[in-house]
Amino acid sequence: MTSIELITDPWLPCPQRVHLAIHELGIDINIREFTLKEKEHKSAEFLKMNPFGALPCLKDSSFDPPLVLYESRAIVRYLALQYGPGRLMPTPSDVRATALFEQAASIELTSFDPVANRLVFEECFKPRFFAEGDDSVDTTLVASLRSRLLVVLDILDQILGNQSYMAGEDYSVVDLFYVPYMHHLTTSVWPSVFENRPHLKSWWGKMKLRPSYLEITRSSY
């Protein structure tokens, strides 16, 4: 019996990072699904686990007391270190590879996510789930986010012109971190976004073929 429980909504981008990792690492895990509409993620019981009241959240009872973790990227890194050492992340003793890995992870977190996340919310999630149709879209904000995103994508295209994956020659959790928002960008928000970005396009072609991608997008918004 598995000691790990994931509290999740597998339709949402942040939890999807963890689902990708679970699939890639082949981990046996108990899934406890919350639906945002029911506001279970704002209950007093859940806020004790994640004071930010957001998904995903993981509990690993192989520790005493159990390890409770929130923040999708931290959960993914923990799972890779604990349940798939040597896979998806460089070994910590390889200082050079770890330095380059950390640089790539930082680019995703600080340059890509704040822009892509906000753009997907504004153009995809907000009109569908939080407001009345396309009228609610802030077009000035969208224009500014789109031009900021292009700058980041051009740099990623340049980086991928010299290496196969985001953190170097090996597929890693950093590639996986990009997947949920790239999925929404390329399937609904901005399907032509990889035009004239051949290296990024070829990287995304590889991402889309991974069984983990097919698995999470079977149940994606």
Ligand X SMILES: N[C@@H](CCC(=O)N[C@@H](CS)C(=O)NCC(=O)O)C(=O)O
Could you list the residues that contact ligand X (CB under 6 A)? Answer: 12-14, 36, 41, 53-55, 71-73
Q: How far is the CB of 130 from ligand X (least distance, A)?
A: 11
Closer by beta carbon to ligand X, 70 or else 171: 70
Q: How far is the CB of 179 from ligand X (least distance, A)?
A: 13
- What sections of the chain are H helices per DSSP? 13-25, 44-49, 72-83, 95-107, 113-120, 139-160, 173-184, 198-209, 211-217
Q: How far is the CB of 164 from ligand X (least distance, A)?
A: 25
Tokens of 38: 């029911």
Sign of CA dihedral 37, 42, 43, 45: positive
Q: How far is the CB of 41 from ligand X (least distance, A)?
A: 6
* Sheet of strand 57-60: strand arrangement: 30-33, 4-8, 57-60, 67-70
- The Cβ of residue 74 has, within 10 Å, a number of other Cβ atoms equal to 11
Closer by beta carbon to ligand X, 82 or else 117: 117
Closer by beta carbon to ligand X, 97 or else 216: 216
Closer by beta carbon to ligand X, 115 or else 160: 115
Closer by beta carbon to ligand X, 41 or else 197: 41
Q: How far is the CB of 135 from ligand X (least distance, A)?
A: 23
Per-residue CA distances from 80 to 21, 26, 52, 90, 192 (Å): 8, 11, 24, 10, 33
The residues pairing with 57 across neighbouring beta strands, listed in sequence order, are 7, 70
